[in-house]
A and B are shown apart, each in its own frame.
Chain A
Amino acid sequence: MNRFAALLEALLLTPSRNGKLRLMQEYFRSQPDPERGWALAALTGELSFAEAKPNQVRTLAAERIDPELLGWSYDFVGDLAETVSLIWPAAPATPAVVPLPSLTEIVETLRCASRTEVARLLAPWLDALDASGRWALIKLVTGSLRIGVSARLAKLALAEWSGVALDRIEEVWHGLSPPYQPLFDWLESRQPAPDIGDLPTFSPLMLAQPLEDDDLTSLDPRDYLAEWKWDGIRVQLVARDGEKRLYSRSGDDIGPAFPDILAAMPERVTLDGELLVARGGEVAPFNDLQQRLNRKTADARMLRDYPAAVRLYDILREGSEDLRGLPFAERRRRLEAWHQADGPRPALDLSPLISFASWEELRQLRDAARERGIEGLMLKRADSPYVAGRPKGPWFKWKRHALTIDAVLMYAQRGHGKRSSFYSDYTFGAWAGDTLIPVGKAYSGFTDEELRLLDRWVRNNTVQRYGPVREVTPAIVLEIAFDSVHRSTRHRSGVAMRFPRIHRIRWDKPCHEADTLEALEKLLT
C-alpha cells in the first residue's frame, strides 16, 4: 500500500503530464500482479466499493478524535480524507500486531465486505498505515482520487510502458475487468491479446486534422465528401448481443447519463455520430447539451427539457462484420442502407452529405455556417478506411471563422509547472459604461516571447495582489478569438465564451477603444 500511496501523492503534486506518465510507467514496471492491476483500476475509476461510504470514515474519526479538534482541523485542511489521514492518532497502547496491508489485500477484502464489516476493517488498517497510506486508503474508500489523472492518461502510460499502441489497449479495455491479469500478460508478451469476443467494446475513434488555408490548393475536391460539423460531442454507439453502450470520444461509458439514447439504439451495430440536444429535429445550442454532460444520470425533467439525439455519420460494424477497412464512401452507402432498412428512430438521424463542385463553393457554405448554428465543415476522403487516431490527410475539420473582440486585460494569474514563474492566465473584460466587467479567461494563443513581455508588463503594472492573482492597471488590449458566446447565469457578465484564446496583443490600441459588453452580447448564439 505504501508504494501505491506514494504514487498517488506524487501524481497529485507533479504538474506535468509527462511527469505523471513517467510515474505511472515506473509503477507498472516495478509492481507485481495483481497489485498494479488494482492500482490501474483505481486510476481509471473502475474501482468502487458499494458498502464503503465516506460517512463511515467520518464516524470512525469521531470515535477516536475529539470532535472540536477534528472540526478545527477540518476547517483548516478543507478535505476530509486528508484531515483524517493526518490527525489519526497513534494506535492504542497495546495494539494487536497488524501487518502492513497491501493494496490487493485491502481491495479484495473490501469488495466482499458488508457495511458493518467495512467499519471494522478500516480502523486496524488506519492504525497500521502512515499518513500517506491512510490518505490513499480513505481516497479509495470514498471513491474520488482527484489527483489530476484521467482514465485515458493511465491507459497512455500503459501503452508507453509496454510499447503496445494505445488504440489496441482501448479496443480491448471495455472487455476487461480489474485486476486485468490478461491485459498485463498481453502487455508483457506472455499471452496473446485478450479475446473480447462479442462484448460491446469501444473502437478507438478516427479524428480529423484542422484544415489550414493552403491545404486546399493541393487537394482535389473530387476526392472528398463533405458534411456539416455539428456543435455537440463525438460519441460511439455500440450494440452487440443485447448489450448497449454509449461511449464518449475518450472511451468513457456515458450511457447511464443518456437513457434516452440507449432506448433509441438499434441492435447489433456500431455507429459513429454527434451527440446533440435537439427539439423537433432542430439542433439546440451547445449550452443545452452542457446541461446533460458530466452527470451520472438524468432525471425525468432533464430528459424532457434537454432531449438528446445522435446525428450519425459513420458505421463501423454491422452484425458481425467489421466495416472499418472499407472506404468511407462505401461505409456511407452501408450506413444509408442500414438506416433505410432499420426504419425511423426518434433520437437518431443521418448527418446529410453536402454536395459541392469546388472548394470555393464549399468555402461560401462554410462562411454562412455561423448563421445556421453550425461549427463548420468536415471533409473526408471518399477512399479512406476508418483508422484510429488522427492521420494527416484523410479527414479535415474546417471550422468557421472565429469571432473576435477587443478586451482589456484585468487580472493575471501565475501558471503551473513550467509556467509557474510566469503570469500566464489572463482575465479580460469588456466595457459597461466606465466600468470593466470580466468576460473571460485565456491562457493560450501567444508565443513564448509574447508571454515574457506580458509577464514583465503584469509585474510592472500591478495595482493589487490576491495570492497568485494580480490585478493590473487597465491598459493592455487583447484581441480575443472565440468560437461562440452564450448566456450564462454563473458569470457576472451574463455571458460565457467557448474556447477563448489570445489572437493578438494590441499594444498599439488605447484601452478605452476596446469593445463593450453590449457588442459582445450582439454575438450571442
Chain B
Amino acid sequence: MLRRLIIPGLAGFAAIGGLLSYTAFAEGGKSSSAIVVASNELATVLAPEELEQVGERESFISAYRRLTESQYRHAIADIFGDDIKVEARFEPERREEGLQAVGNAQLSVTTSGLEQYYSLARSISRQVVSAERETDYLPCDVTSSKDAARKCADEFVQEIGGKLYRRPLTKAERTLTLTIWDASAEGKDDYTQAFEHALTSLLISPEFLFRTEVAERVDDSDAFQLDAYSKASRLAFYLWDSPPDAELLEAAARGDLNTLDGLSVQVERLLDSPRFDLGVRAFFTDMLHFESFETLTKDTMTYPKFSQAVADSAREETLRFLIQHLVDDEGDYRDIFTTKKTVLNRTLAAVYNVPYPSREEWTTYEFDEDTERSGILTQVSFAALFSHPGSSSPTLRGKHLQEIFQCTKIPDPPADVDFSKVQAIEEGTVRERLDAHRTDPTCASCHILMDPAGLALENFDSLGQFRTLENGDPIDVSADIFGQEYSGATGVGEYMKSNPQVVSCVVQKAYAYGKGRKNDYREGQFLNSKTEEFADAGYQLKDLFRSLLTDPKFYEVEVPEGLSARTDSASLTTKAPASGGN
C-alpha cells in the first residue's frame, strides 16, 4: 500500500533504516507510474488520494531511472578515477518494449540489490578516502581541528555530492549528510571514517542510484518539460553513457539548456567528444539485447571453437563495427546489413576462418566481395545470440530481425507446441524440420514473419561459421519475404537495407531509449518527421541523435492525470538551487 514516504538516501545510510526505506520505495515507487513530488526539502511519494493536490505544483518528479551497470561504473570512474575498483554483482536489468532503457524506468531496488549497492558504496568510499587517495578528493587534512574538518566536510559533501547527484545538493541533503559525518566524527581525532561514512551515504542514495527526472512547468502554460539538470543528465547518459561533466552542469545552472542555442552547443560538444563512443555502445548494447551474452553458451562438441573469449570478442566486434561504420566512417545506417567490412581480433578471425592481418589486438577487416558475409546479420554476435546451443535457429533469428530492427513484436508461441520434430537436429536440414511452420495455419500466421529470413541465414551455423551443408544435405537459403524472392544472407541484407521499417524502427528506438518509456501513438507524426530528417541526412546516426536531442519534444514530460490544472496557490519547486540549496 502506497504511503507518504521520505526517499531514503537523505535519511542516512544507517543500514536498517536505509533498507526499510528502500523496501518501501521499492514497493511504492513504481517510478513513472507513481507521482513523486519534490520540494526543496525532501522528495516524497504521494498516496493516490493526494494526487488531486498535485495540480498545484510547479514541478514534479516524472521518472526514476535506475543507473545501468555501465552508467554506474562510468560515474565512479569519472568522479573518482578509473583505478577505483567497482566489484559487485549488479541486479539484472529489465527489458520492456524491446529496450532496457524503458524497463529500467520501471525498476526499483530489491533488498538484496540494496545490500549489493551498500557493500559497493562502502568499498568505494574506503578506496576514495584511503591514504593513497585521500589527498586527491579530500580538500583538507583529516587530522586537523574538528572545526576545520567540519568545514572541509561541508565542501566535500557539496562538491562530491553535486557530482554524484548530478545537481547541487539541497540544503536538507547537505545537512543530513553532514549529520552522518558529525555522528561518525564524534570523539575522534582522525576524521577519515567520518568522510567515508558521509560518502557512503551519498553513494547509497537513490539520488545517485537513480536518474531522478524532474519536470517543471513551461512558462505559464500547462505543459511540462525536464528541468535543466534533468536535461543535462539525459543528454550525458544518452551520448556518453556517463553523468554530466562540469561544463554541462554549469550550462544547466546558467539555464543554457533551456534555450535551443545553448542546448545545441552542448549536444554538439558531446557528439564531438571521443566519449560519444560510450553512448553509441550503450545504445546498441541495449537495442541488440547484448545482455544475453551473459548467458550465451554453445555445445562445444558441435562448436569446438566456442569459448568465453569468442563470446566476449563477438560482443566487442559488433560494438566496434558500429562505432567504426556509423561514427568514424559516418556510414549509412542501412549499410550495417550489407557491408563486407567489420572489425576483428585474432579470436574471431579463427571463427570466420580468415587470416588475421595485424599485430594489433583489433583491426578493420573487409571480407571478400564474393563471400556470403553481410554486415551485422552474419556477425558472430547475431548468429550466435539468436541460435540454440546446439543448432542454429531460423525462427529465433527471424524473430529478432523483426523485433530488434523492424520494431515488430512477435507473439510468444502457444503453450502446447510440440517441438520434438524441430529439435531432432541430427538429420536433414532445418528447413525440412520447420515444415509445419509453413503448413499448419496456426503456426504459419506468425512464422511467416520469421522463418523465411531466418532460413536464408542458414549458411551460418549457431556460431556464425559459414557452411553449405547440414547433416550432409545441401542448405537451401532461398526465401520468399512478403512476396519478394531473396537468397542467402546477402539477400536478407538487401531486404533489410531497402525496408523503410528498418529505418523508422531505429528512430523509434533512439527516441524511446532517450525518454525511457514506450513511444506513444500520438508521437507517430513526430517520429515520422524525424525519420524523414534521418533519411534526408543520409541515414547518419549522429544526425539522428542530434535531431532528437535538440528537439524540445525530447524533453517534454507528459502530464499525469490530475496535474494539468494549475492554481495560483502553487508555489513549490523542485529545481535544485544552483547555489546549493540555500
Chains A and B come from one and the same complex: no
Which residues of chain A have a CB within 8 Å of any CB of chain B?
none
